[in-house]
Structure 1
């Protein structure tokens, strides 16, 4: 699952992840992400989310909601250009990996591989 309110970023991440062999569900908002996952009837293996989303929401809140809906601790990665320490500290406290923009593809791939390998039992 990839959530980013900038369509060009969302499309680029989708293309990159598909090139790496992942099946990707994308959304531009928290609500759209929940709707798409519900329609697919699946729990994501991992969630990549931008920190700042539409309507004053954050990627942390989106990941929390998806985890609650799925009933599983789905691994989450926050990708951000934000440098505010409170929000990023909160993300880390919730077990999320935080990557600062710009993120180079090899680094993203390594982080994604790591979080997928370490995901808790019972997640898809």
Structure 2
């Protein structure tokens, strides 16, 4: 039996795709009964949905479109989360069980940005270069 949170996820998924609440609940139960998981979103097809008893063409199209959108959004979120983690913890490697020692000084992105603007402001303009000779 599927967990309540998994069923709730699928109900939200289907209602977010524009499917009426009654059908969304029915489809959520179908997905849970067939052990469809979030990482299978891109594997969904018209044939799979039809095999599970979801045959209304408008619903099939809405589900497939929304599945692609949700998968892409979750992929973006995962990349952003891992990027944020790597910026916060530069000495940690996701693939290394032990932390690496940093041989240099770590500068945060905001510090690097501030440094860039300071350097840029201190560079002489072309007019100043002419007068320095």
Q: Which has the higher contact order (CA 8 A, sep 6+)?
A: 1
Q: Which has the larger helix fraction? A: 2
Return the TM-score normalized by structure 1. 0.27
